A and B are shown apart, each in its own frame.
Chain A
Amino acid sequence: EAGVAQSPRYKIIEKRQSVAFWCNPISGHATLYWYQQILGQGPKLLIQFQNNGVVDDSQLPKDRFSAERLKGVDSTLKIQPAKLEDSAVYLCASRTPRASKNIQYFGAGTRLSVL
C-alpha cells in the first residue's frame, strides 16, 4: 500500500513569513497526527485528528500554528508567522482504526529552516 505522503520535503523561509505543509495519509486511516521534531529530540505531538475532528491539540502553539483536515483525508499544517525556533522536521503519521492506537505510520517529513 502507498505510504503517508508529505510535501514539500524541504522549505526555507525567513522569520515572520508563513508556511504550509501538506499530508495525505494512508487510504482508510481515520486517525492523523502532526509531530514536530527538533534536531536532537524525539518527535513531539502537535495535533491529532480523528476523521475531520480534533482529538488533541493541547501542545499546538495556537497563536501561530493551525491545522485542518476538512474532508477527513488530507491535512494541512500552517505556521503564521514563523519564528526561528520553529526550525524542525514536521512529521505526519496515520493509523488504521483496526490497529492499536499507538502503531503509527510516518511520512518522510518536511524539513523547515527558518532564517
Chain B
Amino acid sequence: AQRVTQPEKLLSVFKGAPVELKCNYSYSGSPELFWYVQYSRQRLQLLLRHISRESIKGFTADLNKGETSFHLKKPFAQEEDSAMYYCALGGNTPLVFGKGTRLSVIA
C-alpha cells in the first residue's frame, strides 16, 4: 500500500539556517514524488516534483529510491518560507499525502 511519512509535525529554524524537511515513502511501483506547500491564508500549491529536478524558491529535493526518501532542502531559510509542507506520492494510483510539517522560520 502507498504510504507517506513525514516524521516532524513542526520544524523551527532561524533565518539563514539550513532546512531539511523529511519525507519517506512506501510504494511497490515506480514512484512520483511531490512537495506541496500551503502558505498562511493561501491555497495548497505544488512546490516541486522529483521528475523536473528543479530548484524552486531555493528548495531542492532528491529522490533516493534506496532509502525511499524525498527530503526537501534549502541551504538558507527565509522568513517567507514559513508554511505547511506536504510530501505526496503518486504513481499509477491517486496522490497520497503525508500529514505535513509546519516550518517556522524565526527572525
Contacts and interface: CB of A to CB of B under 8 A. Distances in A.
B7 to A, nearest CB: 14
B25 interface: no
Interface in A32-65: 33, 40-45, 48, 56
Interface residues of A, number: 22
Interface stretch (B55-63, B64-72, B86-94): B86-94
B43 A106 contact: yes
Chain B interface main SS type: strand
Interface in B1-51: 4, 9, 32, 34, 43-46, 49, 51
A109 interface: yes
Contact of A42 (B32, B49, B97): B97
A100 B86 CA distance: 18
A107 B43 contact: yes
A66 interface: no
B73 interface: no
Nearest to B91: A102
B90 A109 contact: no
B49 A102 contact: yes
A91 interface: yes
Nearest to A102: B90
Contacts of A3: 43
Nearest to B98: A42
B95 A102 contact: yes
A106 B44 contact: yes
A40 B43 CA distance: 16
Nearest to B34: A102
Given A100-B32, A101-B90, A102-B34, A91 B95 contact: no
Nearest to B95: A102
> Which 5 A-B pairs give the minimum distances between C-beta atoms?
A42-B97, A102-B90, A106-B44, A45-B94, A106-B43
Interface of A: 3-4, 33, 40-45, 48, 56, 91, 100-109
